[in-house]
Structure 1
Amino acid sequence: MQADTPNDSANVSSLSPSVQMAFIAAIAAIAGGLYGYDTGIISGALLQITGEFQLGHTAQELVAAAILAGAVVGSLTSTHLSARFGRRHTIMIVAAIYTVGVVAASLSPDALWLAVSRLVLGFAVGGSTQIVPTYIAELAPPDKRGRLVTYFNVSIGVGILCAAIVGFVLQNAWSWRLMIGVAVVPSLLLLFGMMRLPGSPRWLVEQGRLVEARQALARVRETKQEVREEIADIRELHEQLEEERGGWRALAEPWVRPALVAGLGVAAFTQLSGIEMMIYYTPTFLTDAGFGHSAALLAALGVASVYLVMTYIGKRVVDHVGRRRLTLWMMPPAALALFALGAVFHYSLGGEHRGALVVACLLLYMVFNSAGIQVIGWLMGSELYPLAIRDKATGAHSAMLWGSNLVLTGTALSMTQWLGVGGAMWVYGALNVIGAVFVYVCLPETAGRSLEDIERALKEGRFLPTRQRGDGEAVRGSAAA
């Protein structure tokens, strides 16, 4: 099977290995921008769509949520494609689905067609979140893996910001069809860009294609010695792979359980900590605080800008600070910001400055949440799981993220009706506290460690933070947290 290797001519480049790796991560991460844009643009386009198709409240929710339902399915089904055709080729399939979905949505003759088209887009969104972080992680050097995988997070922020800009600035200049359809440009760029990139060396070793694995790794490593040592390390673990490999039941093996609990827990709290709720419903909350419609949309644009800036900063520091420590630093202040925001709403604090207090608390929450758990949410899915179950586990990880997103966005407005906006903010603040406790207890430090080292620690019972003594740099980072 030749699916995961580009043409031989693509293997020759004058770029240095570090520049090539950054270029590879940037091209693959375009999928994150498509995710951010395609999920975010519906808030700006829905006003026009509702008017054209005469949609009621329920129909609007179905059109908006179809992409999330598709993402859950796409996360799980892409695991088979990834295992059979390889990471690189699966990303190309995802790019093709993005292209078809965007074109179909922009040409929709009615609301049902639009909902189905966004469901198809969801397959691509879910598939990309399952496969892109894994692809980058399997190529990246251990000491740079965090910042390279989080190109994906930053790209999501770029997509969300672009959607907010289009929805606010071009609301009266572009039709909703053009708002949605313009995403065909990056989807085609992703499709053709991936044709020139190398395959995953881990997947190639699994297929017994050692020469191609060495060629792929040689493009992104500084020395031949690094390539030889890493290939030997991958092969050593691969020798145990066949007897360990299994279906979905393999995820229930006792030795795998700590990684699965840690990874899926982080995936859940990435969404349950409230980020998507804030991105989707900021205009609603601010309108309740007395903001005008335009001011609320402008503040939502500010929220998207903060998300992008802080995920970029998180990307720059995650390999130096550590995944676990960064999250433990950021989640408690995010919780405090939500508790304060809840108090402002519930007790009507601030008087004539109430609006400014709401915006301040909202932006502080975005600062700490975006630079913390949002940075590691997708990254952990690419690092924690053993090679034998990586395809299925990353699919489950992505499905957990999208399932949690669906639960959160599907209950946010109902929760504000039951508890008031202030009560809802307190609930989300409590979830941030619970998330921080979970990270402290269950998530080990993975910064600076190879994927093979992480797997060995899992097999030897040294995976959990309390059992990482003797693991060098990882232990110091974990202890400091």
Structure 2
Amino acid sequence: MDGTTSTADQYSRDMKDVDTVATTADVKGRLDEEKGRISFEVVDAEQALAPEADQPFTSALAFTCLVASIGSFQYGWHAGSTSIVMDVMRCSASDPNSSHTLSSCLNMNTDVWAFFNASFALGGLFGGIVASLFMGRMGRIQACHICNALFVIAALLLSIAPHPAVLTLGRFIAGIAAGAQSSIVPTYVAEISPPKWRGALGCSFGFQLSTGVLVAQLLSIVLNFRPGWRVLCGLTGVWAGVMSVGFLWCPEGPRYLVMSGKREEARRALMRLRGSDPVGVEGELQAIIRGIEAEQSGREDSKTLSLMGIMRSPVLRKPLFLAGMIHLAQQLSGINPIVGYAAQLFSRFMAPSTAMWLAVALTGCNNMGIVVSSTQMNRVGRRRFFLISVTGMAVSIGLVVMFAQLNKNAAATVLLLIAICFYALGLGPIPWLITSELFPATAIGSASSFAATVNWTFNFVLTYAFADMQNGMGNWSLLVFAGGLMVVGVVLGGTMPETTGRGVEEVVEGFKGGWGARGVKRL
């Protein structure tokens, strides 16, 4: 802290309009006349003035994060709501239950069901693409309101669908909303969270996603009859309404407000989230302002970077590649096909009633793993947890295949549960958390949208193809996920930086001399 103090003393004489105590970020700039560029160093506000021990976890912050995480709950709800009720939702054309206008089951063969199931991910792909447009033009909260309106429309279509085409359309619209919120919600949570709590609160997206799957599975067991599944499909409108009502008491993201020129609103938002600490709030606000101004220096065309702008940047294209690879790794784990077809996978070697509860246990393991990850994230670090997760899940899935081929069903079941625990440590929560830590505020919208698009694209491909993979390859199909994880793990092992405890500017600075894994060392 001596270097920070001396720098503050050096500049305090020139800062007449800003109280010295309230200045929490020191920005040092110099003009390199030969190269015609400005380089800068930003000392993170929270580190310069307020130690992490003094960063409060307020009730307003907890409430805001809880409301925002309902968006990921809805994602999980749709991901987990069809596995158990599959057999009561579909029937053959000759079944008398399928002949009514509001029939208790719909005529769907295996191919139609596979496309219906995957249409959620296809919608998510489109939602991920438009998410940055929503966030940049109307803010995080208003964008979530639009997504919730789409969830309500989807709930109506799903619950009263007279034909599989209408049912698929409803799931596709739900996917659009979930895809957009999978980019918007992690960005919003990262903006409102102080560094000390960013890791734990960032994991809330993965935890609530898994909770959504768990609650949907439990209610699926209760509503596993005709036409109980229609009630299950309609409930998503309730969660959307609760989220929108809750947002009435939540502030907009401070970084978005600063970028929109609403500095006074940003100050009020921080006061609401941080409690009665005007000195700390003013310092954090000044750090946000200076960081954004530094990123915007030399750029007169717009306030935010487009995806093409990021790709043209020699520095930012590197974290863009990493964000895509990290989200690709999550899908190569096979988590969505495994969860989506969990009851069918287990029913191959046990009674259907037991298989349903094992599918629930699978999700329960995911929740417990995320709790461990969120409480230890700042101690262990994002990079280490993620690489442990990738390696552990790849090995566990490989062993699942081996024991399944040997007809050791109990061992295969236990190993699949262990694989999900490894997934929860890093592959589950970290992709949604780390994207906001790799990019400056001016690039986060486009970068998050790109990462979500990668995630949903492979979600759709793998979910749609998994039924055919199972029919053609049997248990060997799981080796595709194990092999994919190992390849991605090797790539990320040499390129993924450690972001724990570091400001965005420092992480980005590490990419200027090479890849972040070398440029940004552990503390």
**Which of 448, 463, 483 does residue 394 from structure 1 map onto?**
448
2:274–2:281 contact (8 Å) kept in structure 1: yes
Instruction: Find the residue that maps to 1:372 and give its secondary structure.
Output: helix
Q: 1:312 matched to which residue of 2?
A: 371
Q: What amino acid is the match of 1:445? A: E
Deviation at 1:45, TM superposition (A): 3.3
Deviation at 1:410, TM superposition (A): 2.1
Deviation at 1:318, TM superposition (A): 1.3
Instruction: Find the residue that maps to 2:108 and give its secondary structure.
Output: coil
Deviation at 1:132, TM superposition (A): 0.2
Q: 1:64 matched to which residue of 2?
A: 117
CA distance in 1, matches of 2:381, 2:59: 23
Q: 1:365 matched to which residue of 2?
A: 419
Deviation at 1:174, TM superposition (A): 6.2
Q: 1:291 matched to which residue of 2?
A: 350
Deviation at 1:197, TM superposition (A): 0.4
Deviation at 1:432, TM superposition (A): 2.4
User: 2:431 matched to 1:377?
Assistant: yes
Q: 1:282 matched to which residue of 2?
A: 342
User: 2:321 matched to 1:269?
Assistant: no
**Residues 224 and 100 (structure 1), Cα distance of their counterparts in 2 relative to 1, 3 Å cut:** same
**Alpha-carbon deviations, 1:106-162, whole Å to 9, x = none?**
121211111111111111110110100000101100121111121111111111001
CA distance in 1, matches of 2:125, 2:365: 27
Q: 1:332 matched to which residue of 2?
A: 391
2:147–2:180 contact (8 Å) kept in structure 1: yes
Q: What amino acid is the match of 2:153? A: V
Instruction: Find the residue that maps to 2:83 and give its secondary structure.
Output: helix
- Give the paired residue count: 448
**Residues 105 and 413 (structure 1), Cα distance of their counterparts in 2 relative to 1, 3 Å cut:** closer
Instruction: Find the residue that maps to 2:249 and give its secondary structure.
Output: coil
Q: What amino acid is the match of 2:149? A: A
**Alpha-carbon deviations, 1:248-286, whole Å to 9, x = none?**
311212111111111111010011112112212223332
CA distance in 2, matches of 1:310, 1:409: 23
User: 2:487 matched to 1:434?
Assistant: yes
User: 2:267 matched to 1:207?
Assistant: no
**Residues 410 and 87 (structure 1), Cα distance of their counterparts in 2 relative to 1, 3 Å cut:** same
1:90-101 matches, within 5 Å, as: 90-101=143-154
CA distance in 2, matches of 1:264, 1:402: 11
Instruction: Find the residue that maps to 2:499 and give its secondary structure.
Output: coil
User: 2:197 matched to 1:138?
Assistant: no
User: 2:87 matched to 1:35?
Assistant: no
1:79–1:395 contact (8 Å) kept in structure 2: yes
User: 2:520 matched to 1:468?
Assistant: yes
**Alpha-carbon deviations, 1:144-185, whole Å to 9, x = none?**
111112111111111100111122233138611101112222
Instruction: Find the residue that maps to 1:58 and give its secondary structure.
Output: helix
Which structure 1 segments of 5+ residues have no match?
A: 1-15, 470-474, 477-481
1:331–1:436 contact (8 Å) kept in structure 2: yes
CA distance in 2, matches of 1:129, 1:229: 30
**Residues 72 and 153 (structure 1), Cα distance of their counterparts in 2 relative to 1, 3 Å cut:** same
CA distance in 2, matches of 1:468, 1:224: 32
**Which of 345, 352, 362 does residue 404 from structure 2 map onto?**
345
2:88–2:225 contact (8 Å) kept in structure 1: no
1:76–1:395 contact (8 Å) kept in structure 2: yes
2:79–2:336 contact (8 Å) kept in structure 1: no
2:88–2:226 contact (8 Å) kept in structure 1: no
Structure in which a larger fraction of residues adopt helix: 1
Instruction: Find the residue that maps to 1:255 and give its secondary structure.
Output: coil
Instruction: Find the residue that maps to 2:285 and give its secondary structure.
Output: helix
Q: Which structure's CA Rg is the greater one?
A: 2
**Which of 166, 179, 187 does residue 240 from structure 2 map onto?**
187
Q: What amino acid is the match of 1:391? A: G
Percentage identity across paired residues of the two chains: 25
Q: 1:89 matched to which residue of 2?
A: 142
1:33–1:159 contact (8 Å) kept in structure 2: yes
Q: What amino acid is the match of 1:209? A: K
Instruction: Find the residue that maps to 2:373 and give its secondary structure.
Output: helix
User: 2:282 matched to 1:228?
Assistant: yes
After TM superposition, what 4+ stretches of structure 1 lie above 6 angstroms from structure 2? none
Higher mean alpha-carbon deviation, 129-138 vs 174-183, is at: 174-183
Instruction: Find the residue that maps to 1:388 and give its secondary structure.
Output: coil
Q: 1:126 matched to which residue of 2?
A: 179
CA distance in 2, matches of 1:418, 1:104: 33
**Alpha-carbon deviations, 1:423-480, whole Å to 9, x = none?**
222332222222322332121111122334434444x4476111224xxxxx23xxxx
Q: 1:7 matched to which residue of 2?
A: none
Deviation at 1:58, TM superposition (A): 1.8
Q: 1:44 matched to which residue of 2?
A: 84
User: 2:97 matched to 1:53?
Assistant: no
1:258–1:442 contact (8 Å) kept in structure 2: no
**Which of 199, 207, 223 does residue 154 from structure 1 map onto?**
207
Task: Please give the root-mean-square deviation of Cα atoms over the aligned residues, in Å.
Answer: 1.9
1:101–1:121 contact (8 Å) kept in structure 2: yes
2:343–2:352 contact (8 Å) kept in structure 1: yes
Q: 1:115 matched to which residue of 2?
A: 168
Q: What amino acid is the match of 1:156? A: L
Deviation at 1:230, TM superposition (A): 2.2
TM-score, normalised by the number of residues in structure 1: 0.88
TM-score, normalised by the number of residues in structure 2: 0.82
1:441-456 matches, within 5 Å, as: 441-456=494-509
CA distance in 2, matches of 1:212, 1:230: 14
Q: 1:3 matched to which residue of 2?
A: none
